[in-house]
Chain A
Amino acid sequence: MKEWTFIAILLIVSAMLPTVPIMGGRLLGPRKPNEQKSSTYECGVETVGDTWVQFKVQYYIFALVFLVFDIELVFLYPWAVAYNRLPLFGVIAGVVFIITLAEALIYAWRKGALEWL
């Protein structure tokens, strides 16, 4: 538990870094809104249309591909640190797992799911 205390402190500090200036600005700064100021800031370009638009299904497929490899990473990390203590079939199991997920990527690729339309 002790070694995590530092991380907890780090988390608290990192949370305060953005919070304190923003809250400070809100509490201390003068407030004179006009139409120009309260419009949405989008890199200086005028905002077009509504912010709440419907996303394309493509985003979802990309997120799912990302999820597949996120999970692969999560499983491969313990595999990588433990593999010299694993029996041979355990190592092979990891390879089979990589192949299975690589197939998922190849499938999505061949089917054109990764093309942005």
Chain B
Amino acid sequence: MNLPTLESINLAASLPVLILAGWACLLTAIDLFISPERKHWTAWLAVLGLLASGVALGFEAVAYSQRGAVSAFGDMAVVDGFALFLQGVFLLSAFLGILLALNYLPRHNIERGEYYTLLLFTTSGMMLMAMAADLIVVFLALELLSLPLYVLSGFAHPRLDSEEAAMKYFLLGAFASGFLVYGIALTYGGAGTTLLSGVVEALVGGGPAPNPVLAIVGMGLILVGLGFKVAAVPFHMWTPDVYQGAPTPVTAFMSVGAKAGGFAALLRVFLIAFPATGDTWGVVIAIIAALTMILGNVVAISQSNVKRMLAYSSIAHAGYVLVAVAAARYPEVEPLAVSAAVFYLLTYAVTNLGAFAIVIALERDDGTGVEVEDFAGLAKTRPWLAIAMTLFMLSLTGIPPSAGMVGKFFVFQAAVQASVGDPLILTVTIIGVLTSVISAFYYLRIPVMMYFRDGEGQANVQPALGVALALTALATFLLGVVPAPFLQMARHALLTLAG
């Protein structure tokens, strides 16, 4: 057996995640010596870590544009455009997640330094997920992503709904992890290796242990495990309760980060390790995508609690990304579909974090104030807030001029290209368009409420939240109006087997 050398470990290539994980560990220790009244110091130190990681990521992106993808940690991880793009999305989401929490936590008397350190830990898990090139790393990254989120959902304990959220998320999440591990074990049994590049060799033939049947069963179980993380129907049951019960900044971050992390693994595992069985999983994922879009959008209509509505909306959006995943199984469409998926995740991240920022502004200290009716009259009292919320709702629906519209357009473009000779994808694409129209019904209810109904329209925008709102609103608008530079970046977000 040839052991890896220091060169093949290639610490420089994985510097962004190393900085973040190391800083999370350090900050855990530093936070012990910060007095409870000064926990915002921890927050700013966490932001510092995110910035440092972001700078390293920038250098890594420049290096990538010159030399292409490289392996790291032997062959356990790969730093390619896909990983770098998503890592950028994760860092951005984490930054906004901290801004959203900065005033929210003290207001609700749940401020503890661990919020920020756990946020850094889960972000490092997501970043590792994006670069995982081995099923074991996929599993451990998923755990590192989930474990802090389980704790964060219960951060408002002993508030009962927060405890319920943590309990539900933890139990079902652990169960889903069980499926994932079982799937990895069967894949290992079938392919004789957990390396994604090794699995593809074994399945295509010429590998050391030809038993594709076992690997396909394993693949199905992996799909169940990851489907749970991205909240795809029929593995979505936990989403509404968890999103409603968890503290709102956690919900905001979770809906964006955990979903993108799950899709990072889904895309990489299925496109790199299982391309040979594309006809099998392509069909399954297409059907799941259709179900997810239909259920998410239809059930969201009847929700009166905005957090719950956004939970169903988040299920629905998982469906749109799944359309891109299903389309990506055709090699000629793959680059377009993958960049569509990651671009969609970016647009969804900024839009959804913005929408949740508004929910946080409206939420009262006792956790109420997040019903649709509470938006009434907001346009008169807080016109800018109303404009921003309208923009986010337009973006979630997919109406120009907003990021969501470009994202959806990109996904459907990939799907239409893939649908040549594949009626199933065509049907799913049509379902996607139709459900987008349905979604307008519940998203636009909020602007209607704000502009045409009278009400108190109370909101409380504190400085950090204001910055987060301005950033997300600007990003949502810019991504919708001048998407070209970001699309260009997304086009480089290609999956690579290994460096």
Which residues of A pack against B, CB within 8 Å? 87-89, 100, 103, 106-107, 110-111
Contact = CB atoms under 8 A, between A and B. Distances in A.
17 contacts: A87-B3, A87-B5, A87-B6, A88-B6, A89-B6, A89-B9, A100-B25, A103-B25, A103-B28, A103-B29, A106-B29, A106-B32, A107-B28, A107-B29, A107-B32, A110-B32, A111-B32
Nearest to A87: B3
Contacts of B9: 89
Interface in B8-40: 9, 25, 28-29, 32
Nearest to B29: A103
Nearest to A110: B32
Q: Interface SS of chain B: helix, strand, loop or mixed?
A: helix
A106 B32 CA distance: 9
Contacts of A106: 29, 32
A66 to B, nearest CB: 19
A87 B9 CA distance: 12
Given A89-B9, A107-B29, 7 more contacts: A87-B6, A100-B25, A103-B29, A106-B32, A107-B32, A110-B32, A111-B32
Contacts of B6: 87-89
A83 to B, nearest CB: 13
Interface residues of B, number: 8
A87 B25 CA distance: 25
Contacts of A87: 3, 5-6
A94 to B, nearest CB: 15
A30 B6 CA distance: 73
A110 B29 CA distance: 10
A87 B6 CA distance: 8
Contacts of B3: 87
A98 to B, nearest CB: 13
A74 B285 CA distance: 40
Contacts of A110: 32
Nearest to B3: A87
B136 to A, nearest CB: 15
Interface string B389-423: 00000000000000000000000000000000000
B401 to A, nearest CB: 47
A111 B114 CA distance: 11
A65 B25 CA distance: 17
A103 B32 CA distance: 11
Nearest to A85: B3
Contacts of A103: 25, 28-29
Contacts of A89: 6, 9
A110 B30 CA distance: 11
A68 to B, nearest CB: 14
Contacts of B5: 87
A114 to B, nearest CB: 14
A107 to B, nearest CB: 6
A107 B114 CA distance: 11
A107 B31 CA distance: 10
Contacts of A88: 6
A106 to B, nearest CB: 7
A76 to B, nearest CB: 18
A100 to B, nearest CB: 6
A53 B399 CA distance: 60
A7 B138 CA distance: 38
A100 B26 CA distance: 10
A60 to B, nearest CB: 15
A34 B158 CA distance: 49
Contacts of B32: 106-107, 110-111
A27 to B, nearest CB: 44
A106 B9 CA distance: 30
Interface in B23-71: 25, 28-29, 32
B19 to A, nearest CB: 14
B128 to A, nearest CB: 15
A100 B22 CA distance: 10
A36 B29 CA distance: 56
A42 to B, nearest CB: 35
Nearest to A111: B32
A103 B6 CA distance: 26
A111 B29 CA distance: 11
A87 B3 CA distance: 9
B106 to A, nearest CB: 20
Contacts of B25: 100, 103
A69 to B, nearest CB: 18
B154 to A, nearest CB: 14
A75 B6 CA distance: 21
B277 to A, nearest CB: 36
A102 to B, nearest CB: 10
Contacts of B28: 103, 107
The 8 lowest CB-CB distance pairs between A and B, nearest first, are: A110-B32, A89-B6, A103-B29, A107-B28, A103-B25, A89-B9, A100-B25, A87-B3
Nearest to B117: A107
A89 B5 CA distance: 9
Interface string B259-288: 000000000000000000000000000000
A103 B27 CA distance: 11
B6 to A, nearest CB: 6
Contacts of A100: 25
B150 to A, nearest CB: 15
